[in-house]
Amino acid sequence: MRIATAHAYQNAIDSMTERQAKLVRNQEELSTGKKLLAAGDDPVAAAAAERTRSAQRRIELQQRMNDFATAQLQIADGALSSVGDVLQLVREGVVQAGNGGYSASDRHQIATQLRGYREELLALANRPDGAGGFLFGGQGSQTAPFADGASVTYLAQPGEQEVGLDATSPTVLDGRQTFMDLPNGAGTQSIFDLIDRTIAVLDDPASTGVAVSATVRDAISGLDVAMDRVSTKRTEVGEGLRALEARDKLSADGSLQLSSQLSKLVDVDYAKAISEFQNNQTALSAAMRTYAQISKMSLFDYL
């Protein structure tokens, strides 16, 4: 079989070009750490990698929401704890005022203490949430949700704000449910109205022992309801924090799995890539030597 000199030259050049292209590809993979440099390299793997990245972004977004909700619920837990402490102080003062041996002056001093507790309670109810809103702002409020006038009123829209994608968590609590709609014998009342009525009776020198006793009895009953309400809400907040912690773990596990999956799709296997680089480098050197030998061959050397 006769092989033309030009054909031999071209075969050698093609071999060198192919090996050089593979060598450049190996260098790109080793320098970037990626085996999937363009979608055209492996369309199926590229599509799978994009789906994996999309799932990762969703997890990252959910995690940011979880972190925000966790911070808000931790603030809420602290605030509710403080509310419970203030209500306990109010209750102790009211019980003390029921002492039959107390004078009008003694009851006046207790009423003064209760006013201070009331102001502290109102400040807690209007506590900012650190994110531009208010912790007990319901569906959202740009101003303090509780307004103090002839009586305390709730200005915000009742309800809770929540964040999350697949699972949601509250970030703003319903102030009406916590402070306002407390049942009594005549319907409902706010904790502020209850304290105000108690203060009015205790601060009135003309109040009789019977009136004081009845007021103290009603106040204790209402305060117990309020404290139970706050305790229940705090339990709900604690459950929310527990659920967020569990979701954080699931998110971390999911993120790890997706990262491993993405790595298999796009990251280079350095051991394999180095081996291929060395093989292609050896093959290129051999092709160059072969071409050098072919280029020296001539029939005139045998004439």
Residue 97 has pLDDT above 50, yes or no: yes
Q: What is the pLDDT of residue 1?
A: 45
Q: What is the mean pLDDT of residues 131-151?
A: 89
Q: Which of 20-34, 62-76, 215-229, 254-268 has the lowest mean pLDDT?
A: 20-34
Percent of the chain with pLDDT over 90: 43
| Sequence ranges of the domains in the chain | 55-154+164-260
pTM for the predicted model, two decimal places:
0.73
Residue range 226-235: mean pLDDT, rounded: 94
Residue 133 has pLDDT above 80, yes or no: yes
Give the tens place of pLDDT for each residue, 103-126.
Answer: 999 999 999 999 999 999 999 999
CA quadruple 35, 37, 38, 44: dihedral, nearest 10: 20
Q: What is the mean pLDDT of residues 199-219?
A: 94
pLDDT at site 270: 61
Asked if pLDDT for residue 258 goes beyond 90, the answer is no
Q: Is the pLDDT of residue 199 over 90?
A: yes
- Identify the pLDDT of residue 284: 60
pLDDT at 302: 46
Overall average pLDDT of the 257-280 stretch:
69
Residues 156-165: what's their mean pLDDT?
A: 86
Confidence label for 260 from pLDDT (cuts 50, 70 and 90): confident
CATH number 3.30.1330.60 given to 55-154+164-260: no
